[in-house]
Structure 1
Amino acid sequence: MFGFKLFLLLQGVVSALCATLTYNWDIDWVPVSPDGFPRVAVGINGKWPCPQIDVNVGDRVIVNIVNNLGNETTTIHFHGIFQTGSNQMDGPAQATQCPIAPGSSFQYDFVINQTGTYWYHAHVGGQYIDGLRGPIIVHDPRSPFLGLYEEEVTFTVTDWYHTQAPYLIDFFESPLNNEIHGGSEPVPNATLINEAQNVKFPIKPNGTYLFHIINMAAFAGIYVQFDQHELTVVGIDGVYTTPRKVSQVFLATAQRYSVIVQAKPNANQNFAITTSMDLSMFDPSVTPPNLNNNATAWLVYDSAKPLPVAPSFQYLDSALNDKVFTPYDQEGPLGPVTHPISLTMGFTSNEANQNRAIFNNVTYIPQKVPSLYTALSAPADQVSNPVIYGVNSNAFVLPYNAIVEITLSNTDNGPHPFHLHSHQFQVIARSDPTADDTLLTPPTNVVPPATPMRRDTVLVNGGGYVILRFKADNPGVALFHCHIEWHVEAGLTATFIEAPEQLQALGLVIPQSHKATCAKLGIPITGNAAGNTKNWTDLTGAFTTPPLNDWGALVNPPSSKGKYRYARRRSSRVIRDLE
C-alpha cells in the first residue's frame, strides 16, 4: 500500500509542473443533419460535434458540467483513462457516480498520466448513441515516434441512427422484437467520418502525419483504408507499439489506432479514404433499405484538382488480426496468475420475454447505491464481500496487486468488443472465428506470447474465447463490459471491486456536486446495493428486475424538425416532435 501512496504522491508532484485545463460544458439538445437527415443530437455549448480534448501528459483536466437536457440525466466516461486515485471521476452511472440530474451542475477533476488516443462518451441510458461523444488526444513530448511525423490529425468513425436511442433500446429489449426479429440489434442508417460526410484532409507533398483513428460507434465495427497510402501503426488503445505497416485497419467499437501516413512526393492528384462498416452482425430484417455502408473522405493535395471516386472496397482478413501488434516496451506476460475469473456470456429472455444479455447467467442491473459508494461506506469486515454489491451487479472482488486472468467464452455467434475500465490488459490468447461453439473452451496448455498485445478493448470472436491478464493495482470500481451499446443496456456488464481495503485507505472524497445530484434524484450514497446500512448482507429492495418499456417495433418515429417538446413516459428520455 505504501508503494501505491508513493505513486500518487509522485503523480501529484508531476501534475504540479503541468497545466490545468478547464472546460465548461453545457450539455443540451442541438439540431443536426450530418448525413442530410434532420434530427436532434446531444451537444455541448449549443454545438455538435462535441469538442476535442487536447492535453499533454501530466495535465490536470477539469470539466464543469451543466445538464440542460431537461428530460435526461447524463454522465461522461473518459474512455481508456485509468483514473488512478480518482475513481470517483470515471463516469458510469450507478457504478462510480449518480447520474447528473437535469438542471444540475457537476465537476470532473483528474490528471492524465497516459499517452495516446482516447475518447469520452456518455455512460448512461445509451446516450452516446445520440451524440455525446468526442476525442481525447494526449500529446507526448517524449514519444519514441516524435521525429517521424510533422502534424497530428484526428479521424473518427461512427455509426449514425436517424431514430433516438430510447426508442431503439426499447425496441431491442422488447418482447415483440424477440418474437419478430429474434432480438436483433437496431442497424444504423449511415457511417460518419468526423461526425460528417465528405470530409477533406489537406495534405502537403512529402509531409508526414500521425492520424489518431477512433471508432466512436455504438454498434458497428469499421474498416479504414487510405487509397495508395500505407499506414504505419505505432499505437493501439493508448499503447505504443512496434511500428508495423498495413494497408487497412479494422476498429471494433471503442478501439483506437495511431498511424503514421507518409504523403506522396507531389500534388498530382487527390486520394480517397474509405471506411466501411462490418455487415456481419446486421440482421437484414431490420437493416434500413437505404443504408450506405461506406463513407468517403479525401486526402487533398490540391484543392483545384477533382476528388476521385472511392475504389471498390476489399475487406482484408489480415485487418482483423490485431495480435500482430506488440507493445513497444516489450512487456512480457504477467504471471503467475493469482486470481482467475471465468465468464460465459450470452443472451436470454426473461419471464417477460425481454431480450437480456448475461454473464454466467446473470444480467447486470444498476443498483440503488452506486457500487463505489458502497465500497467507500462499507464496514471493514464487509467491504470485500461481493454479496453487498448486489447479485445483479455481477461483482467480483479483486485482491490488491493480484494478477487477474479473465477467461471469457462467447456463446453468441457474433463477435463482441469487450472493454475494461481503469486498465489495459494483455491478450494472452484468442480463438479464431468459427461457425459453431467448438472453441468456447480454451485448451489447457495455452502458452502466452513473448510480448502479448496490450489494449483496453478487444474483439472476442463468435463461438470462441479470449484470455486476458492485468494487475489489480488501481483500487476502485472497474466495469468490464461489451462496448456494443445495445448489449450494455441489456446487461452485458460485470463489476470488478478492485482492492476495496486499499480503496478505503486512500480516503477518496465524494465532491459536493456529486452528492447534490444524488440527493436531487433520491439516490442514497451509503449502504449496500439496496441502501441498507444496518445489515450489510440484507439485500431486500435491491434491483433484480430490469425495467420494461415495451414500445414494440417502433423504429421510425417522426423526423426531428421544427420545435420540440419533452416527452415523459416512465423512464423515457426522448424528445419528440411537434408536427
Structure 2
Amino acid sequence: MGFFTDCSKALLSILSLTPASDRYSSQQPLPLSGITIEPEKASPGFTCQYPSLKGWKSCNGPHSRDCWLKDSASKQPLFSQYDIHTDYESVFPQGIHREYWLNVTDKVISPDGYLKTEGKVLNGSYPGPLIEACWGDDITVHVTNYVKTNGSTIHWHGLRQFHTNEADGVNGVTQCPIAFGDTFDYNFKALQYGHTWYHSHYSLQYPDGVAGPLLIHGPSSANWDEAWDPILISDWSHRSAFQDFYVELGNATSGVRGQEPTMQSIVLNGTGNYICDPSTDRNCLPPKERKPIFSKVFEKGKRYLLRLVNSSTESAFVFTIDNHMLEVISTDLVPIHPFKTESIHIGIGQRYAVIVEAQPSAPVQEDGNYWIRTVVSDNCGTINQSNPEMGVIRYNARSTALPTSTNHTALSTVCADEPPENLVPVVPWPVDHQAVNDVLNDTFEADVSKNETHGAFRWDLTDTPLWLNFSNPTILNLGNTTWNPEYAIIDENYDRGYVYLVITSENIRKDPTKGFTPAAHPIHLHGHDFVILAQSTGNYSVAETPKTFNFNNPPRRDVALLPAQPSGYLAIGFKADNPGVWLVHCHIAWHASSGLAMQILERQNDILPTIPSLDPTRKTCQGWDTWLASHISTFDQDDSGI
C-alpha cells in the first residue's frame, strides 16, 4: 500500500496542493470475534474479516475454490455456508468497512514509451491503484479532483449499486462533476464478487488514463493455485481523447461525417512498446527509459487465475497465450460453468476470469518463453501499431529472451461475443417468459442521425442523441413528470418481473431521419446484470424473433455486443428490482460521447427512499457551478457528458 501513498504525496507536493488525505487505504482493526482470513494473492496485510460470523471458518483453498465460508459447528453445512451456489443478489456475508482515497491529477505519462503530455491519472499512476475488498464489505472511496481544466467522476463498472444509485458516478445523471479541489465520497456495498474496473465517467477522461482495477474476493467455479491481480488491456492514443473526439464528430457545416480516430498502440496493464525514433522525435523515449515488457513466471504444473479487463476506448481484443489453453470461469461479475478454449474475445468493458494450467502443449519451446497475445478483433478497432505480442510467460525466471512461440493455428479474430451456449451461469435465473413492459415501445436503434445536432452528426439510441446538463443531473430532478427529450429518459415503473430491451443496428422503424452505419457496439447497462435473450447478426423481426428468445438460464453479464454485419440485434432482460436512474450506453468512448446512450428511470417514486441524503450531491453541484462560473469563457461542452 505504501507505494501508492508515496506516489500521491510526491505528486501533490509537486503540484503544491493539500490532499484530502495522504492515506491510500484503510480497513477496520481486526475483530475480537468472528473470522479473519487471508485470501490467496491479496495485497500484503490484506485480510477478509467477518466479525459477526462467530464459529465460522474459511473453506476456500486450492482444492475448494467453490466454497468461501462455512459454519464449522452446523449440523446442516449446505445451509450454513457461503459458496459459488449462493444467490449473491439476495444473500451475502456481512464484512467490514474499508476506505480508499483517490486523487485525479494531470500528468505526463508514457505507458508505451511515447510521452502523452495530456495524460490524467489516479494517485500518480496508470492504471490507477488496485481497490480491493471482500464479498459483503462496505466501501467508501474519497475522490478528490486536482485536474484544473476538467471536472471528474468515478464509475464502479459492473457493480449493482443496489440502493446506492447516488454512488454510480455518472456525470449529469447521478451527480455533477467534482470540481477542481473538491472531494466526493462514494459509499457502496460489495454484494458481488470477482474482478472489474473503475473509471471516470466525465466525458472522455478515462481514455486519457483515469482508470484502475477493482477486485472483490470470493469463491470461484473452478480450482486454481495462484492468482494474478486484474490485468487491464487497452488501446492507447498519444493525443488527448478530447482532441481525438473531433475526428469522430466530423464537420456538420461542410457535411463531412465523422469517423473513428486511429489509436497508436496497445498497452497491457500500463505497458506497451510503440516503435519510434528517439533521435528524431523528442517524445519518443529511448529503450533504457521504457518500462520492461509485461512478463510473468509460471511454475510447471500449477494452475494460474488470470483476471482480464478490456478498458479500451474503441477496440475489442482476442486474448490468447501460445501453446496454452484457457479455462473460462466468469463473465463480467457472473460465475459460469467452466469451459476451455484457445482464445477469448473481450469487448470493451467486458471482463473474463480464466485459469491457465502451466503445462504447455507441443511444440514446447526450448527457452520456456511464450507470447501473451492481444489481437485486435476484425473491424472492432483501428490501431496504428497493433503488434499483438504484448507479454511473456516464462518458465525460467532468469530468462530475458523474447519468445519464439507461434500463435494458435485456428485462432478466430471475428468481432463477436463468445457463443452463448458456453456462458452458462452457475446461479440460474428463472426468467419470465412475459415482459412487464411494452417491448415494441422499448425497441431502440443504434444509428447516426441524418440531422445535425449540437454541431455534428451524432450517434443515438432514442429519437435524439443523449445530451446532459452537467449542472443539472437527473438524480436531483426525481419529482419531474416530464423530461427534456435530450435526456433520453426511458420510464420503467415496475416493481416485479423482467424488463426487456431490444437494440438493433438496422432501421426497423424506417425512420427517414436515421442514417445507419454498420458498427458493432458493446452495450453496457448500469445498476444490473442482464440476461441475453437473443443476439444475432440477422434482421430483427418484431413478430418472429421473440419466438427464439432463450429463457433457459441464458448468459448473464453487464456488457454484451450488439452485432452489425451489416445488421444485427441484441435483446436483453433485467429485473425491475433496483430503483434508480441507470445509464445504458455503447462503451466505445466516441459513441457514448456522441450520444449513443439513454437513461432507464426505474421505479421513480422508490428512488429517494433508498438514498440517505442528497446533500453531498447538491454540495458537489454547488462546487461545480462555482468553478464553471469562473471558467465559462473556456468551457465548451461538445459531447453528451458521459
Instruction: Mark yes or no: TM-score above 0.5.
Output: yes
Query: Residues of 2 paired with 1:108 and 1:360: CA distance?
Result: 30
SS in structure 2 opposite 1:66? Answer: strand
The answer on 1:246 being equivalent to 2:349 is no
Q: Which whole-Å CA distance do the structure 2 matches of 1:311 and 1:177 have between them?
A: 50
Residue 178 and residue 199 in structure 1: after superposition, are their counterparts in 2 closer, same or farther (change >3 A)? farther
User: Quick one: which amino acid aligns to residue 418 of structure 2?
Assistant: N
For 2:606 and 2:252, locate their aligned partners in 1 and report how far apart those are by CA, in whole Å: 47
| 1:118/1:238 contact within 8 Å kept | yes
**2: distance between equivalents of 1:118 and 1:217?**
13
Residues 475-509 of structure 1: CA distance to partner in whole angstroms, max 9, x if unpaired? 11111111111011111111011111222333531
AA matched with 2:240: Q
Preserved contact between residue 358 and residue 492 of structure 1 (Cα < 8 Å): yes
Q: Which moves more between the two structures, 325-334 or 254-263?
A: 325-334
Corresponding residue number in structure 2 for 1:500 = 604
Q: Deviations 1:62-83 (Å, cap 9, x if unpaired)? A: 1112111111100000000011
- Counterpart of 2:451? 350
Instruction: Provide the residue aligned with 1:91 in structure 2.
Output: 169
Asked if the contact 2:122–2:211 (Cα under 8 Å) also holds between the matched residues in 1, the reply is no
Q: Does 2:272 correspond to 1:194?
A: no
Amino acid at match of 1:26: N
What does the per-residue CA deviation read over 1:410-448, in whole Å, with 9 as the maximum and x for residues that have no partner? 13311100000000100011113x6xxx44756252242
Please tell me whether the aligned partners of residues 166 and 572 of structure 1 are also in contact (alpha carbons under 8 angstroms). Answer: no
Inter-partner Cα distance in structure 1 for 2:523 and 2:420: 15
**SS class of match (1:404):** strand
Give the secondary-structure state (helix, strand or coil) at the position aligned to 2:574.
strand
Secondary structure at the aligned position of 2:121 is classed as: strand
- Residue 58 of structure 1 aligns with an amino acid whose one-letter code is G
Alpha carbons of structure 1 residues 450 and 194: separation in structure 2 relative to 1, 3 Å: same
1:292 to 362, 365, 386: 386
Corresponding residue to 2:258 among 183, 202, 205: 183
What is the DSSP-based 3-state SS (H/G/I as helix, E as strand, rest coil) of the residue aligned with 1:478?
strand
Are the structure 2 counterparts of residues 420 and 319 from structure 1 closer, same or farther at C-alpha, using a change threshold of 3 Å?
Answer: closer
Partner of 1:270: 369
Q: Identity across aligned pairs (percent)?
A: 26
Aligned pairs for 1:341-490 within 5 A:
341-351=442-452, 354-367=456-469, 368-375=471-478, 378=479, 385=481, 387=482, 389-398=483-492, 399-411=494-506, 412-432=517-537, 438-439=539-540, 443-462=545-564, 463-490=567-594
Aligned equivalents of 1:570, 1:153: Cα separation in 2: 38
SS for the counterpart of 1:355 is coil
1:293 to partner: Cα distance: 4.4
Q: 3-state SS of the aligned residue for 1:148?
A: coil
* Whole-angstrom distance in 1 between the partners of 2:402 and 2:98: 39
TM-aligned CA deviation for residue 148 of structure 1: 3.3
Aligned pair 1:301/2:395, yes or no? yes
Number of residue equivalences? 499
| Distance of aligned partners of 1:481 and 1:516 in 2 relative to their CA distance in 1, 3 Å threshold | same
The equivalent residue for 1:67 is: 145
Structure 2 spans left out of the alignment, 5+ residues? 1-87, 273-292, 507-516
Pair 1:338 & 2:440 matched: no
Give the conservation status (yes or no) of the 8 Å contact 2:431–2:498. Answer: no
Higher relative contact order (CA 8 A, sep 6+): 1
- AA in 1 matched with 2:581: V
Q: Contact conserved, 1:273 with 1:310, CA < 8 A, in 2?
A: no
CA–CA separation in structure 1 for the residues paired with 2:534 and 2:103: 43
TM-aligned CA distance change 1:244 to 1:12, over 3 Å:
closer
1:165 aligns with one of 211, 234, 241:
241
> Cα deviation per residue 1:156-200 (whole Å; 9 max; x = unaligned)?
2101011101111233213169855x3111121101111112200
Change (3 A) 1:567 1:44: farther
Q: State the distance in 2 between where 1:13 and 1:155 align.
A: 29
Q: 1:27 aligns with which of 104, 107, 110?
A: 104
- Indicate if the aligned counterparts of 1:248 and 1:316 stay in contact, CA closer than 8 A: no
Partner amino acid for 1:199? F
2:635 corresponds, among 550, 553, 570, to 570
Question: SS in structure 2 opposite 1:29?
Answer: strand
Deviations 1:188-223 (A, max 9, x none): 110111111220012111111111100000110111
TM-score norm. by structure 1 comes to 0.81
Query: How far apart, in 2, do the equivalents of 1:333 and 1:268 lie?
Result: 51
Shift in alpha-carbon separation, 1:274–1:571, aligned structure 2, 3 A = same
CA distance in 1, matches of 2:92, 2:367: 48
Q: Secondary structure at the match of 1:167?
A: helix
**How far off its partner does 1:335 sit?**
3.5
- CA distance, structure 1, for counterparts of residue 332 and residue 473 of structure 2: 27
Preserved contact between residue 157 and residue 214 of structure 1 (Cα < 8 Å):
yes
Partner of 2:418: 321
Q: Give the alignment partner of residue 354 of structure 2, picking from 259, 266, 273.
A: 259
1:118-133 correspondence to structure 2 within 5 Å: 118-133=196-211
Structure 1 residues 11 and 472, CA gap change in structure 2 (3 angstroms): closer
Tell me the distance in 2 between the aligned counterparts of 1:520 and 1:243.
48
Partners of 2:413 and 2:376 in 1: CA distance: 13
Going from structure 1 to structure 2, the CA distance change for 1:568 and 1:158 (only over 3 Å counts) comes to: farther
